[in-house]
């Protein structure tokens, strides 16, 4: 997928006018780009549209309209768009109660390095977490991580030929796996079409 540039973005004024309909479109799009592993772990698979929405929302929130500021936001968010031979996901550890979340984040140290995908009979591929900056300490993990699944040619071929896609997590305190629904499989395979 190609990176976003300034010409792909709406001005603050135009975005204000279109925000509700654009947001509805993005929320509907995200429905088929989520994988929920157990009760507390959600993967949201990013693509050009989800990242455009993030950038537009940041520009709106920070009232950024000068070229330099827009370029900074694009530089921060463009690396989250998949490159055609990988999937990129925002991983969220979700606990409604603050105390339970704090305890879980201390028990789940390293979980971000233990998320995997298996496509058909191909080997499991573990995600690479937080390439931009470290989000964990020895005492606790963050509730948000950014993952990249570096897919092999064989895995991509299997996905494009209809093989099941299963995601899982192998942490001693949190083990789950899920074979995704066909709607999710279809959405994720669209990320693999460019360049293959």
Domains and CATH numbers, the chain: 1-31+48-81 (no CATH), 33-46+82-196 (2.60.40)
> Is the pTM for the entire model greater than 0.75?
yes
Burial of 45 (0-12, 13-18, 19+ CB in 10 A): buried
Supply the Cα-derived Rg of the chain in whole angstroms.
17
Neighbouring residues of 83: CB distance < 8 A, sequence distance ≥ 6 = 1, 195
Separation of alpha carbons 108 and 143, rounded Å: 10
Separation of alpha carbons 144 and 92, rounded Å: 5
- Render pLDDT for 24-38 as a digit per residue (tens, 0 to 9): 999 999 999 999 999
Separation of alpha carbons 46 and 61, rounded Å: 20
- Render pLDDT for 121-176 as a digit per residue (tens, 0 to 9): 999 999 999 887 777 788 899 999 999 999 999 999 999 999 999 999 999 999 99
């Amino acid at each position: 997928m190609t990176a976003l540039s300034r010409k792909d973005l709406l001005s603050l004024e135009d975005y204000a006018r279109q925000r509700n309909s654009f947001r509805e479109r993005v929320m509907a799009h995200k429905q088929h780009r989520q994988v929920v592993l157990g009760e507390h772990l959600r993967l949201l698979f990013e693509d050009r549209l989800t990242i455009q929405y993030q950038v537009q929302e940041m520009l709106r929130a920070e009232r950024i309209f000068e070229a330099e500021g827009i370029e900074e936001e694009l530089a921060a968010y463009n690396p989250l768009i998949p490159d055609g031979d990988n999937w990129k996901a925002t991983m969220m550890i979700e606990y409604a109660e603050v105390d339970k979340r704090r305890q879980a984040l201390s028990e789940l140290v390293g979980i971000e390095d233990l998320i995997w995908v298996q496509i058909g009979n191909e080997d499991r591929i573990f995600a690479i977490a937080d390439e931009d900056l470290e989000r964990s300490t020895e005492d606790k993990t963050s509730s948000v991580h950014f993952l990249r699944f570096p897919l092999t040619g064989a895995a991509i071929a299997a996905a494009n030929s209809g093989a099941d896609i299963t995601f899982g997590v192998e942490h001693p305190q949190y083990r789950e796996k899920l074979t995704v629904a066909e709607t999710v499989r279809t959405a994720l395979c669209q990320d693999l079409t460019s360049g293959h």
